[in-house]
């Protein structure tokens, strides 16, 4: 799985630079970033696809043509393009389009929730470590190192394997996987910002630590950390559906892309194109998230 | 009389064998199993009957064995390592077995009465130095009345049961005879009995038609023909068995010529397999794929109306379509026309209106729907296609307002949980379990589920069913040593079980297999087992 | 250098201990009594109590961890619940198979990645660049269990070119580097290599583009330095980072091959882990995770040392 995104060593330095740039420049920085993103057709295209997908899965009950759970043995495994069943039917005769729409809800949920949770927890811990330094930093960063010693897939499989199957366990496992890299990035960028002149000035003027962090540090580090977190969503979605594919995530009959891919495996001889659809959905979503995140990162890099 | 029967059976086996052996057919047969690991090769296989099929019967023999030579008649018990047996007329708990002479284990030692006593002790005598708790689970439950063995002379043993039990000779097909000599030899090099059994599993020695030549854990086991077999020898030179739990991987392995024979091909792949020239075989099987209810205090399935409603709410024909026709529709544990079927008054069929009425009567309405939790496996011996099948049932039952939740566990776990009972933590609150089972002998088919003494941990009365009426009927059958009287008693028992809807009967397996056209001589008997002496590779 | 080595190793020891602790805790967080991870579910009650005492499971958690650690250090990872065999006996052969698969995949990914990344970096902005970047993003975005399935359908089932599963006609035990065996390795390797390919492409592209833009390269070129000279310079500067990325990828693939091994029934640690999860065979789960994580810790250390040795710019403090 795309482990790269959880290896921030190379990304860290870059992000620290960006954070410093963001901090040093005025509000014009973000306007510039936005301007550059707007000019990048790939990013805009991918973002539009993601937005469309999001709308489609949010409004699934309104636009889905059929019931996601109700099937019929008489019309199982129909081909793509069957009238009334545009994307065919699955192994229990349920409409694929409907299942994919509803399945997107869980897949997105299981992909984004761990990153969102890790973003919050990781930022808090990382900023704390970066700002306070000293023993707190030491304690937080050494624990982070331990989790770094596990390849991400292995850690996710280990935790959800030990806890047993279930959506909540899978989300818990993935959150634990993503907290350490976010802590590292947050710590690096915070350390970078902490020593800047205006933070020193604020400190000298007697502002308390909380205010400094809230006003000066968070405002400047959240952006880069957020961008880094978006690059994790793609990994998270692949991992989450991978867990479901292994039977560690969602349980039948809940529609979820990874699980659908699993249950449609045997249909690959009858309707190969229908059987690969859920995988294609995961692929498209994941590639779009990756490209959007790349675009954002590039736009924030003033040199580029 | 038994001897005569055996001679007839032996002739039936021998005739086609003699005919074919002229062609001197041979070769290596590679089999893709559904199990995730090689079933235990220590003599008492795990992994359900797939284990007996592939690491039991080919390597080991039992005192009594199944006749697997014909496809068109029910498989019956025939003499194996015992040539004849009878219950003691004065003491109905004492059986005398006469043993076959001149049989040798693969290590060259003699099979005799000492070996039988030793093999009974390995699972029943806790004081025995070679007692193996791991083998108890898969053995003792299949012969629950057997207590001990006693040597009378070198080729005669007495077996003792806890109570009179006419079913013992059928049960004994599950006690495989491992070589004590081989075990003692390995014991010298191993620190504990447990380690010795592990070593024995790597170098097993039985009396079977094949001996194991190679064992790669989790990957493969290889057998070579036992040229010193005591009756008709196998035609194949070698057999390779491979665990391939995933149905698609099995199909792909067969299509890309990595194996010659696969168990349970994915139904959806069958047209493709046929098109590529593969042979699909199937035959009626004494098998039940049920939901076995929990009768404990808080289980909704305690109520007979609910059990009947679920039985009526299932569209079995639809399920058959799902399986590409690879199942037969049950009307009880045994099919209509079977000597044990009897005259039940409850007719198992699909009648959703009646199902809804029964549910309403039991107090379940759309506002207060019934929710069932069922423990199921993802794949396993005799489990057919558990995930799609259960998902189908789930959807089907939604139609009568029943919500079904699944707890998916690995097959071995499901199987082990079966003996813990539905009140045990391992059941995780399930109201039913989806262990499929063989119904070829009355003990397996009915007694172990419906006898209150068979409640866990003794045997498979998972739901703790307890009804003195059933206990009495079972005792009656066990004491009927005349076959006709025994069958009549069993028919009454079966009819009562159907009327009480003691199972949710869902499907009978027809044991589909797919094999390469190069496999010849194969016979698919009406059994869970296969005689691997018969096929050969062209 | 020597002191750096010692210090780096000394730093690795608490990490290794902590990793061990996490693996130990895996069994503790699993639902149910940890004793169930040691004795089969059908063991009689007195046996369970005996084992509980033998394993010190009646003692406080830190003591238990100590006892467990002592056993692990002696190479005793416990016994599989499903097969009864010592965990290490199954694990040792599985590790070899996974290492072989992961090494092949990261090598292939490295070669392809360097090629694509080098081209993309050299011709930055051209269509070659765009194609290479697309491939790289595709590589890290594709759910590779799905890619594996698709490849089996195409290459094994439809075309019948390559086998769909397993590790050769004799299983992994008699592996040999002949075509009969290697063809079993092709599909899983290709499936697994797309991730390192994508990552190495991105890394190499970045480094190459940066070096090509550096003033002294432009200057060198101006002075009439040959293409070969520039190439050498680029390789010298890009190698440490690219090798480090690849080294880490090897570790990630070792731990992350579970899905691909499941799809191809490749008899490695991933398949072992998958079966252990389904059988709730916690000793096997714990042992496998521990060994893989330790492998990763050591690999990290080696990559670090190698990078220090190769790249003079990294100071050894």
Choose among C139, C143, C180, C144: nearest CA to C162: C180
Strands B519-520 and B279-281, bridge-based pairing = unpaired
Most B CBs within 10 A among A94, A243, A252, hence the mutation to make, goes to A252
Rounded Cα–Cα distance for residues A265 and B349 (Å): 32
| Residue B496 tokens, joined | 């009562």
Structure confidence at residue B465 (pLDDT): 95
Structure confidence at residue C221 (pLDDT): 65
Q: What is the mean pLDDT of chain B?
A: 88
Backbone φ and ψ of B340, nearest 5°: -100, 10
Rounded Cα–Cα distance for residues C182 and B266 (Å): 28
Residues of B in contact with A248 (CB under 8 A): none
| Residue B140 tokens, joined | 């003792």
Furthest CA-CA distance within chain B: 72
Distance from CA of A234 to the nearest CA of C (A): 7
In sequence order, the 6+-apart residues with CB closer than 8 A to the CB of B264 are B34, B247, B250, B384, B385, B511, B512, B513
Rounded Cα–Cα distance for residues B460 and B469 (Å): 19
- Contact call for C171 and B40, based on CB within 8 A: no
Structure confidence at residue C316 (pLDDT): 43
Report whether pLDDT(B400) > 80. Answer: yes
Report the residue from A7, A242, A269 with minimal CB separation from C145: A242
| Residue B94 tokens, joined | 């004492």
Structure confidence at residue B26 (pLDDT): 77
Please write the tens of the pLDDT for every residue from B41-85: 999 998 878 899 999 999 999 999 999 988 877 777 899 999 999
Please write the tens of the pLDDT for every residue from B510-528: 888 999 999 998 988 888 8
Report the residue from C138, C153, C285 with minimal CB separation from A162: C285
Choose among B110, B100, B116: nearest CA to B160: B116
| Residue B369 tokens, joined | 């729907």
Q: What is the mean pLDDT of chain A?
A: 83
Are B219 and C173 contacting, i.e. CB atoms less than 8 angstroms apart? yes
Q: What is the mean pLDDT of chain C?
A: 81
| Helix count and strand count (H, E) for chain B | 18, 22
Structure confidence at residue C162 (pLDDT): 83
Q: How far is CA B485 from the centre of its chain?
A: 25
Structure confidence at residue B167 (pLDDT): 85
Per-residue confidence band for C10, with pLDDT thresholds at 50, 70 and 90: confident
Nearest CA in chain C to B42: C83
Q: What share of chain B is helix, strand, coil (3-state, %, to 5)?
A: 35, 20, 45
Report the residue from C19, C144, C251 with minimal CB separation from A146: C19
| Residue C272 tokens, joined | 């072992």
Structure confidence at residue C166 (pLDDT): 74
- Contact call for B395 and A165, based on CB within 8 A: no
Per-residue confidence band for C243, with pLDDT thresholds at 50, 70 and 90: confident
Rounded Cα–Cα distance for residues C140 and A290 (Å): 9
Per-residue confidence band for A1, with pLDDT thresholds at 50, 70 and 90: very low
Please write the tens of the pLDDT for every residue from A97-134: 999 999 999 999 999 999 999 999 999 999 999 888 88
Report whether pLDDT(B259) > 70. Answer: yes
Q: What is the ipTM of this complex?
A: 0.83
Please write the tens of the pLDDT for every residue from A59-68: 999 988 888 8
Query: At which residue do the structure tokens 């307002």 appear?
Result: B401
Nearest CA in chain A to B273: A269
Q: How far is CA B333 from the centre of its chain?
A: 14
CA distances from B450 to B396, B417, B498 (A): 28, 18, 12
Residues of B in contact with C41 (CB under 8 A): 413, 416-417, 420, 426
Residues of C in contact with A261 (CB under 8 A): 143, 145-146, 149
| Residue A200 tokens, joined | 């020193």
Report the residue from B40, B248, B425 with minimal CB separation from C32: B425
Report whether pLDDT(B345) > 90. Answer: yes
Does the CB of B191 have a partner CB in chain C at under 8 Å?
A: no
- Contact call for A245 and C145, based on CB within 8 A: yes
- Contact call for C259 and A261, based on CB within 8 A: no
Express as a percent the part of chain B with pLDDT over 90.
56
- The 3-state secondary structure of B101-149 reads CCCECCCCCECCHHHHHHHHHHHHCCCCCCCCHHHHHHHHHHCCCEEEE
Instruction: Say which range, B187-191, C128-132, C241-245, has the weakest mean pLDDT.
Output: C241-245
Please write the tens of the pLDDT for every residue from B290-338: 999 999 988 999 999 999 999 999 999 999 988 888 898 999 998 888 8
Structure confidence at residue B99 (pLDDT): 95
- Contact call for A263 and B387, based on CB within 8 A: yes
Are B312 and B358 contacting, i.e. CB atoms less than 8 angstroms apart? yes
Residues of B in contact with C83 (CB under 8 A): 37, 40, 217
Strand partners for B371:
B403
The predicted model gives B28-38 an average pLDDT of 90
Please write the tens of the pLDDT for every residue from B210-255: 999 999 888 889 999 999 999 999 999 999 999 888 887 888 888 8
Rounded Cα–Cα distance for residues A77 and A81 (Å): 12
Rounded Cα–Cα distance for residues A5 and B492 (Å): 67
For residue B457, whether the previous peptide bond is cis, meaning omega lies within 30 degrees of 0, is: yes
- Vertex B180: Cα angle to B174 and B183 (nearest 5): 105
- Contact call for A252 and B392, based on CB within 8 A: no
- Contact call for B218 and C271, based on CB within 8 A: yes
Distance from CA of B409 to the nearest CA of C (A): 6
Buried b (16+ CB within 10 A) or exposed e, C159-181: eeebbbbbbbebbbbebeeeeeb
Structure confidence at residue C306 (pLDDT): 80
Q: Higher confidence at residue C263 or residue B181?
A: B181
- Contact call for A253 and B395, based on CB within 8 A: yes
Report the residue from A151, A258, A290 with minimal CB separation from C141: A290
Please write the tens of the pLDDT for every residue from C273-311: 888 887 778 888 889 999 998 888 888 888 888 877 776
Are B64 and B170 contacting, i.e. CB atoms less than 8 angstroms apart? yes
Strands B432-433 and B370-377, bridge-based pairing = parallel
Query: At which residue do the structure tokens 């995104």 appear?
Result: A5
| Residue B379 tokens, joined | 């794949």
Report whether pLDDT(B260) > 90. Answer: yes
Please write the tens of the pLDDT for every residue from C173-229: 667 787 878 888 899 999 999 988 998 898 888 888 877 777 666 666 666 666 667
Structure confidence at residue A12 (pLDDT): 65
Report whether pLDDT(C242) > 90. Answer: no
Are A119 and A98 contacting, i.e. CB atoms less than 8 angstroms apart? no
Are B260 and B516 contacting, i.e. CB atoms less than 8 angstroms apart? yes
Residues of B in contact with C149 (CB under 8 A): 248
Choose among A174, A38, A224, A111: nearest CA to C141: A111
Per-residue confidence band for A210, with pLDDT thresholds at 50, 70 and 90: confident
Rounded Cα–Cα distance for residues B117 and B150 (Å): 6
In sequence order, the 6+-apart residues with CB closer than 8 A to the CB of A17 are A192, A301
Please write the tens of the pLDDT for every residue from B106-154: 999 999 999 999 999 998 988 899 998 878 877 877 887 899 999 999 9
DSSP assignment of A248-276, as one string? Answer: SS--TTS--HHHHHHHTGGGGGT-HHHHH
Does the CB of C167 have a partner CB in chain B at under 8 Å?
A: yes
Report whether pLDDT(B15) > 70. Answer: no
């Amino acid at each position: 799985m795309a482990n790269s995104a959880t290896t921030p060593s190379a990304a860290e330095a870059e992000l620290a630079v960006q954070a410093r740039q963001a901090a040093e420049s005025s509000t014009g920085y973000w306007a510039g970033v936005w301007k550059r993103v707007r000019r990048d057709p790939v990013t805009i295209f991918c973002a539009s696809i993601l937005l469309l997908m999001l709308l489609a899965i949010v409004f699934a009950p309104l636009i889905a043509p059929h019931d996601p759970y109700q099937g019929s043995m008489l019309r199982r495994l129909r081909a793509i393009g069957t009238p009334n069943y545009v994307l065919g039917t699955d192994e229990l005769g349920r409409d694929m389009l409907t299942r994919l729409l509803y399945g997107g809800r869980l897949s997105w949920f299981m992909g984004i929730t761990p990153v969102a949770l890790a973003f919050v927890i990781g930022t808090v811990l990382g900023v704390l470590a970066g700002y306070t330094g000293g023993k707190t930093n030491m304690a937080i960063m050494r624990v982070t190192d331990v989790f770094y010693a596990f390849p991400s897939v292995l850690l996710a499989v280990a935790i959800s394997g030990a806890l047993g199957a279930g959506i909540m366990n899978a989300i818990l496992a993935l959150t634990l996987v993503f907290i350490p890299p976010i802590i590292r990035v947050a710590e690096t960028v915070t350390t970078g910002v902490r020593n800047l002149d205006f933070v020193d000035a604020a400190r000298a003027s007697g502002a308390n630590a909380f205010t400094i962090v809230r006003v000066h540090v968070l405002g400047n580090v959240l952006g880069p950390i957020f961008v880094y977190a978006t690059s994790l969503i793609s990994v998270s979605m692949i991992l989450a559906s991978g867990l479901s594919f292994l039977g560690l995530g969602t349980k039948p009959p809940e529609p979820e892309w990874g699980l659908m891919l699993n249950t449609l495996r045997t249909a690959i001889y009858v309707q190969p194109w229908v059987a690969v659809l859920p995988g294609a959905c995961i692929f498209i979503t994941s590639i779009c998230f990756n490209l959007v995140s790349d675009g954002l990162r590039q736009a924030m890099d003033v040199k580029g | 009389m038994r001897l005569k029967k055996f001679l007839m059976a032996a002739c039936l086996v021998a005739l086609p064998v003699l005919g074919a052996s002229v062609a001197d057919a041979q070769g290596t047969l590679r089999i893709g199993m559904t199990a995730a690991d090689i079933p235990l090769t220590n003599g008492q296989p795990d992994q359900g009957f797939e284990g007996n099929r592939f690491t039991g019967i080919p390597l080991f023999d039992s005192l009594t064995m199944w006749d697997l030579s014909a496809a068109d008649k029910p498989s019956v018990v025939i003499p194996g390592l015992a040539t004849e047996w009878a219950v003691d007329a004065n003491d109905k708990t004492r059986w005398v077995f006469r043993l076959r002479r001149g049989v040798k284990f693969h290590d060259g030692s003699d099979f005799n009465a000492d070996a039988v006593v030793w093999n009974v002790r390995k699972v029943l005598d806790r004081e025995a130095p070679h007692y193996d708790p791991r083998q108890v689970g898969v053995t003792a439950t299949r012969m629950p009345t057997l207590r001990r063995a006693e040597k009378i002379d070198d080729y005669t043993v007495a077996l003792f049961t806890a109570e009179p039990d006419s079913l013992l000779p059928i049960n004994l097909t599950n006690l495989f005879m491992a070589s004590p000599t081989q075990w003692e030899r390995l014991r010298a090099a191993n620190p504990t009995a447990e380690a010795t059994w592990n070593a024995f599993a790597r170098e097993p020695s039985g009396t079977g038609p094949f001996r194991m030549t190679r064992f790669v854990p989790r990957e493969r086991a290889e057998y070579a023909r036992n040229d010193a077999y005591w009756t008709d020898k196998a035609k194949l030179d070698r057999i390779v068995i491979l665990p391939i739990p995933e149905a698609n991987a099995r199909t792909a392995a067969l299509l890309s010529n990595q194996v010659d024979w696969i168990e349970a091909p994915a139904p959806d792949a069958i047209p493709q397999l046929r098109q590529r020239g593969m042979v699909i075989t199937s035959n009626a099987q004494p098998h039940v794929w049920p939901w076995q209810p929990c009768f404990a205090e808080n289980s909704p399935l305690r109520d007979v109306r609910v059990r009947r409603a679920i039985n009526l709410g299932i569209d079995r024909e639809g399920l058959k379509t799902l399986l590409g026709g690879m199942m037969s529709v049950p009307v009880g544990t045994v099919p209509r026309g079977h000597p044990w079927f009897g005259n039940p008054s409850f007719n198992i069929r699909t009648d959703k209106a009646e199902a809804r009425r029964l549910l309403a009567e039991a107090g379940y309405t759309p506002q207060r729907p019934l929710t069932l939790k069922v423990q199921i496996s993802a794949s396993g011996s005799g489990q057919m296609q558990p995930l799609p099948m259960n998902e189908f049932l789930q959807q089907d039952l939604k139609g009568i307002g029943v919500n079904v939740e699944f707890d998916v566990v690995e097959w071995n776990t499901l199987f082990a949980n079966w003996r813990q009972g539905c009140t045990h933590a391992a059941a995780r609150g399930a109201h039913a379990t989806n262990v499929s089972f063989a119904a070829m002998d009355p003990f397996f088919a009915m007694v172990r589920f419906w006898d209150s003494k068979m409640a866990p941990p003794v045997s498979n009365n998972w739901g703790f069913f307890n009804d003195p009426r059933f206990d009495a009927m079972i005792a009656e059958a066990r004491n009927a040593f005349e076959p006709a009287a025994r069958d009549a008693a069993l028919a009454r028992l079966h009819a009562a079980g159907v009327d009480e809807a003691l199972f949710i009967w869902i499907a009978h397996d027809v044991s589909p297999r797919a094999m390469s056209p190069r496999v010849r001589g194969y016979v698919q008997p009406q059994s869970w087992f296969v005689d691997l002496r018969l096929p050969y590779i062209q | 250098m020597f002191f750096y080595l010692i210090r780096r190793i000394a730093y690795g020891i608490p990490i290794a201990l902590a990793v061990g602790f996490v693996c130990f805790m895996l069994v503790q967080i699993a639902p149910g009594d940890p004793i169930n991870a040691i004795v089969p579910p059908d063991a009689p009650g007195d046996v369970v109590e005996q084992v509980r005492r033998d394993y010190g499971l009646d003692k406080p958690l830190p003591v238990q961890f100590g006892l467990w650690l002592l056993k692990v250090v002696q190479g005793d990872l416990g016994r599989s619940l499903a097969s009864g065999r010592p965990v290490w006996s199954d694990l040792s052969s599985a590790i070899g198979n996974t290492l072989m698969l992961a090494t092949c995949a990261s090598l292939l990914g490295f070669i392809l990645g360097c090629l694509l990344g080098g081209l993309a970096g050299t011709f930055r902005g051209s269509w070659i660049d765009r194609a290479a970047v697309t491939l790289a993003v595709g590589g890290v975005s594709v759910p590779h269990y799905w890619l594996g399935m698709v490849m089996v359908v195409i290459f094994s089932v439809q075309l019948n070119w390559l086998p769909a599963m397993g590790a050769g006609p004799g299983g992994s035990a008699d592996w040999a580097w002949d075509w009969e065996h290697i063809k079993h390795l092709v599909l899983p390797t290709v499936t697994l290599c797309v991730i390192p390919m994508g990552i190495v492409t991105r890394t190499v592209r970045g480094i190459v583009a940066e070096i090509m833009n550096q003033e002294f390269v432009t200057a060198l070129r101006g002075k009439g330095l040959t293409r070969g000279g520039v190439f050498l310079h680029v390789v010298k500067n890009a190698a440490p980072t690219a090798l480090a990325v690849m080294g880490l990828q090897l570790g990630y693939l070792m731990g992350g091959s579970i899905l691909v091994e499941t799809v191809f029934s490749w008899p490695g640690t991933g398949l072992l882990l998958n079966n252990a999860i389904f059988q709730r065979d916690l000793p096997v789960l714990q042992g496998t995770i521990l060994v893989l994580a330790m492998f990763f810790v050591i690999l990290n250390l080696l990559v670090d040392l190698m990078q220090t040795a190769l790249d003079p710019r990294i100071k050894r403090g």
